């Protein structure tokens, strides 16, 4: 489950990120967003996004050393504290000191940089596909067909037979008025066919009727 990162001074950081250059702004804490590449070549794009995901180093005067946010539940890039649930679809892999390689770190990625890491993984797949002459299509979540179509208002005879055999009891709608006797007869015929198919299904399973039930 997604949790909004909580960090002291985070709102100020988001406001100031708008006035920063592209790379520092991408490394700042903030909401989930897509990283916009400057180059159009995939390998140069990989260098750009790798610079964004490199762990932040400690700084002393003009010297940089070690890793600043190598702590549990802290983003190794921006330092945001975030605890990931086991079933979260954005849960990232264990960060490495050089992004693609290196030693595993104790920290993690915040939701913003976890999404960028997934973007980098898709870019890697695109580069491999291009090297082997394959067509690459990025993952696009699709809505299930039954949801996209909306509520089911009509059933074909095949649908009725399939649902009836599966154990469903289908009752036709009962409008307030019928236009004519033909519409009423058609509705009763559909109901009768579904009842007969359900009865045949039960008899086929070995259900036996008593003499009293047969006479009724």
| Same domain as 114, residue 173 | no
Question: Of the candidates 63, 96, 131, which is a domain's last residue?
Answer: 131
**104 and 150 fall within a common domain:** no
Q: Is residue 139 part of a domain?
A: no
∠ Cα 46 22 65 (to 5°): 75
Q: What is the pLDDT of residue 167?
A: 67
pLDDT (tens digit per residue) in 129-148: 888 877 766 554 444 444 44
Look up the pTM and report it.
0.55
Instruction: Report yes or no on 127 lying in a domain.
Output: yes
Beta strand ranges found along the chain (DSSP E): 58-60, 63-65
pLDDT band of 75, cuts 50, 70, 90: very high
Residue 56 near residue 68 (C-beta atoms within 8 A):
yes
| pLDDT(189) > 60 | yes
Residue 1 has pLDDT above 50, yes or no: no
pLDDT, greater one: 146 or 100: 100
Do 149 and 125 share a domain, yes or no?
no
Q: 29 with 95, same domain? A: yes
- Note whether residue 138 is domain-resident: no
- Residue 186 counted as domain residue: yes
**Whether pLDDT at 80 is above 60:** yes
Q: Which of 101, 131, 161 is the last residue of a domain?
A: 131
DSSP annotation of 101: S
DSSP string, 129-188: HHHTT-----------HHHHH-S-----HHHHHHHHHTT--------S--SSHHHHHHHH
Distance of CA 57 to the CA centre of its chain: 33
- Answer yes or no: do 161 and 205 share one domain: yes
pLDDT band, residue 16 (cuts 50/70/90)? low
Residue 86 belongs to some domain of the structure: yes
The domain boundary residue, chosen from 108, 131, 154: 131
Separation of alpha carbons 138 and 118, rounded Å: 11
Q: Residue 112: CB partners within 8 Å, gap ≥ 6?
A: 5, 29, 30, 31, 32, 33, 78, 80
Q: Are residues 207 and 106 in the same domain?
A: no
Residue 35 CA to residue 119 CA, distance in Å, equals: 8
Question: Which pLDDT value is given to residue 210?
Answer: 65
Q: Is 124 among the domain residues?
A: yes
Please check whether residues 30 and 86 belong to one and the same domain: yes
Is 1 inside a domain boundary?
no
Return the minimum-mean-pLDDT range out of 13-27, 110-124, 166-180, 196-210: 166-180
Could you list the residue range(s) of the whole structural domain that residue 113 is in?
10-131
Residues 85, 149 within the same domain = no
Position 137 in a domain: no
Residue 25 shares a structural domain with residue 75: yes
What pLDDT score does 144 carry? 46
CA separation, residue 43 to residues 89, 109, 152 (Å):
27, 23, 48
Number of structural domains in the chain: 2
């Amino acid at each position: 489950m997604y949790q909004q990162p909580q960090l002291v001074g985070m709102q100020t950081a988001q406001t100031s990120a708008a006035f920063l250059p592209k790379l520092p702004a991408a490394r700042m804490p903030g909401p989930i967003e897509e990283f916009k590449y400057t180059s159009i070549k995939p390998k140069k794009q990989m260098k750009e996004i790798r610079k964004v995901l490199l762990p932040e180093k400690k700084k002393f005067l003009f010297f940089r050393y070690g890793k600043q946010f190598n702590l549990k539940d802290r983003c190794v890039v921006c330092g945001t504290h975030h605890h990931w649930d086991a079933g979260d679809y954005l849960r990232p892999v264990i960060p490495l000191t050089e992004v693609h390689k290196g030693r595993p770190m104790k920290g993690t990625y915040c939701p913003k940089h976890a999404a960028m890491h997934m973007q980098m993984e898709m870019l890697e797949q695109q580069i491999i596909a291009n090297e082997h002459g394959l067509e690459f299509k990025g993952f696009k979540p699709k809505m299930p067909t039954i949801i996209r179509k909306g509520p089911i208002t009509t059933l074909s005879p095949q649908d009725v037979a399939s649902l009836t055999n599966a154990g469903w009891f289908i009752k036709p709608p009962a409008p307030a008025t019928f236009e004519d006797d033909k519409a009423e007869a058609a509705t009763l015929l559909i109901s009768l066919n579904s009842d007969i198919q359900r009865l045949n299904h039960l008899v086929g399973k070995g259900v036996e009727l008593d003499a009293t039930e047969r006479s009724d």
